[in-house]
Amino acid sequence: MVIVQQILFILLAAVAVYIFARKVGEIRGNILLGKDRNLTDHKSERWRNVLLLALGQKKMFRYPLVGVLHFLVYAGFIIINIEILEIALDGIFGTHRMFAVPLGGFYIFVIDFFEVLALLVLVSCVIFLIRRNGLKLYRFIKHDLDGWPRTDANLILITEIILMGLFLTMNSADRALQLQGYGHYSDHGNFWISGLIAPSMAHLSSTTLVVIERTAWWLHIIGIFAFLNYLPYSKHLHILLAFPNAYYKPLKPWGQMDNMPAVQKEVQYVFQPELATNAEPAPAEGFGAKDIFDLNWKQLLDAYTCTECGRCTAACPANLTGKLLNPRKIMMDTRDRMEDVRANIKKNGEFKDDGKTLLHDYITAEELRACTSCNACVQECPVSINPLDIIFELRRALIMEESNAPAEWNLLFSNIENNFAPWKFNPDERDKWTQALS
């Protein structure tokens, strides 16, 4: 019987890891569809961002209660899953609590610590579930979350509650068996949380307790493997991507656009025409981004890291005044476009033009025009995502490639081009207003 369980566990683990690795490879391929960008400078500052923003969740603590609860769920779930190492080794070698004897009393301390964290994670997830569905917060009732995104958020919370419940149930049945001195369930000492539950199971037979313990063990590890393979399809992929996203966070000032050398030279030639005489023709290149292929890989990584928390949208002044712009939707649309492109590649062996682009088919001109470039979305994002970078690139293509701008904007551009100022005044007469002061 034990050998059968070992074979089943190894097969389950191998299949789960293979499926996960294949999907991760697809996501990596999608991110690399973007243009290259070197973000490896100032390594010490980048590691600092990883520690503060990804691991320490610095931005979440701007809202203390929510920050603490989120930290408990995030850190607790990650730390508790260290236990998977023992579960995996037990599953492979057919042992039971392999580390109990070598670690002695420290093992009890570790399990106690895990159980307390499990209870805190369970309680925090219940609070988040009530908060998300009962309080009707502005950012949780937006229509961009209708359908799968809202279900995804609730499903993850419910899954974490079930996994923590299974962990405590498994330990409680295990402790009850230890107290009965049954089989290989050696008495390693009392557990804090499950030790309080175990006495209520004392009336159950050893056979029943073994069934409960083994069922909880199997459901727990199956749940972990299922969760692992669910992550790449969920907004909770940020659990993994928050770390590289924080490391590769651009260190330039917020809102600073990347200059285009060819455009810079053209502007320089306006002021210094003599430089244009011997200048080499500028290479033909597009302006901005029409599709994901025109964005850089960090911008695409941002889209996959998005937690869909909606803090960016809740802080967006354009959205709050009824405009179509929704920074969260910008990131979700970018990710959806990458997934559609991947499906196209898988179907055809390479990308075949599907007649769609990120600009217009996923994100409209009206959304982009509503952006005030205020950086509120960048300030609010807890995982260092910059929706404004994508908005800038799409709007740049809209205006410079398609000449698609409102009349008021075109008048502004014309004045700047001809008068070197937003106003329709001759540069030579710009100071005339001062004559009235003399």
> Residue 366: its pLDDT value, please?
94
Q: Whole-model pTM?
A: 0.84
Residue 276's pLDDT is: 61
Q: For the stretch 131-146, what's the b/e string if a residue is b when 16 or more beta carbons lie within 10 angstroms of its beta carbon?
A: ebeeeeeebbebebbe
Domains 2-238 and 261-427 in one fold: no
**pLDDT value at residue 169:** 94
- Give the integer Cα–Cα distance in Å for 266 and 270: 7
Rounded to the nearest 10°, the torsion over CA 20, 25, 29, 32 is: 100
* Rounded Cα gap, residues 382 and 242, in angstroms: 9
Within 81-147, where are the H helices? Answer: 83-93, 100-103, 105-134
338-343: long-range contacts, CB 8 A cutoff, minimum separation 24: 338/30, 338/31, 338/33, 338/292, 338/300, 338/303, 338/304, 339/30, 341/30, 341/33, 341/292, 342/26, 342/29, 342/30
* 3-state SS, residue 38: coil
pLDDT of residue 416: 83
CA torsion 237-240-242-244 (nearest 10°) is -130
Question: How many Å from the N-terminal Cα to the C-terminal Cα in the chain?
Answer: 102
Q: What pLDDT is recorded for position 1?
A: 63
Q: Which CATH number does the domain 261-427 belong to among 3.40.50, 1.10.1060, 1.25.40, 1.10.760?
A: 1.10.1060
Nearest to 60 by CA among 50, 45, 47, 71: 71
pLDDT by 10s per residue, the chain, length 438: 678 888 898 999 999 999 999 999 999 999 999 999 999 899 999 999 999 988 888 888 888 888 888 888 888 777 877 888 888 888 888 888 888 888 888 888 988 999 999 999 999 999 999 988 888 787 888 888 888 888 888 999 999 999 999 999 999 999 999 888 888 888 877 888 988 899 899 889 999 999 999 999 999 999 999 999 999 999 889 888 999 999 999 888 887 887 777 777 777 776 677 666 666 665 556 788 999 999 999 999 999 999 898 899 999 999 999 999 999 999 999 999 999 999 999 999 999 999 999 999 999 999 999 999 999 999 999 888 999 999 999 999 999 888 888 888 888 888 887 887 888 877 777 777 777 776
Q: Are 50 and 310 in contact (CB under 8 A)?
A: no
What is the model's pLDDT at position 277?
62
Residue 294: exposure state from Cβ atoms within 10 A (0-12, 13-18, ≥19): buried
State residue 136's pLDDT score: 78
Into which CATH architecture does domain 2-238 fall? Up-down Bundle (1.20)
**CA 88 centroid distance within chain:** 27
Q: Which of 300, 304, 329, 332 is nearest to 316 (CA)?
A: 329
Tell the burial category of 61 from Cβ atoms under 10 Å away from its Cβ (0-12, 13-18, 19+): middle
| CA proximity to 92, closest of 183, 13, 163 | 13
User: Could you tell me the residue ranges of all domains in the chain?
Assistant: 2-238, 261-427
Report which secondary-structure segment, H or E, holds 366.
Answer: helix 365-369
**Which residues, including other chains, have CB under 8 Å from residue 122's CB and lie 6 or more apart?**
160, 161, 164, 165, 168
Determine contact, residues 136/114, Cβ cutoff 8 Å: no
pLDDT of residue 172: 93
Residue 284: per-residue pLDDT = 56
Q: Rounded to 5 degrees, what are φ and ψ at 234?
A: -120, 160
